[in-house]
Amino acid sequence: MGDKITVSGNQNSKISIKNTITKVQQSVGAMSTVDEAARQELKLLIDQLSKALERIPENQKEQAEAVAASAQALVENAKADKPNKTLLQISGEGLKKAAENLAEVAPAVVSIASQVIATVMRIQGLA
């Protein structure tokens, strides 16, 4: 018989957010059409976003998960060989709205998310 491991809700949220951000960081690394300086800038911003999301109060973890998932959608769309510009704009708006839900408790998340969006749009020639 195996051991039963119980993880509290707090840990599940942190693990979920961390896993999503890890996927985002991997996607940034896989962006083949992006110059190295832009890729490093985006990696740094995603790392900052991850750290800011780790500090979100437990009662707002669902909103933090939405930010992480929205960032993942944006970067996934951006890493395509020929990104769909409409999907990029929609994904960027989704990330912006998700981040704004945390404005009261974590204004840094809004600022970082805005920088992520601006960087992705600039990389893709939309800014």
Alpha-carbon torsion, ordered 109, 113, 115, 119, to 10 deg: 160
C-beta separation of 75 from 45 below 8 A? no
Helix, coil or strand: residue 125? coil
What is the DSSP annotation of 39-106?
A: HHHHHHHHHHHHHHHHTS-GGGHHHHHHHHHHHHHHHHHHTSSS--HHHHHHHHHHHHHHHHTTTTT-
pLDDT digits over 59-117, tens only?
Answer: 999 999 999 999 999 999 999 888 999 999 999 999 999 999 999 999 999 999 999 99
Boundaries of every domain in the chain: 9-123
**pLDDT band, very low/low/confident/very high, at 32 (cuts 50, 70, 90):** confident
- CA 52, distance to chain mean position in Å, is 11
Residue 1 has pLDDT above 50, yes or no: no
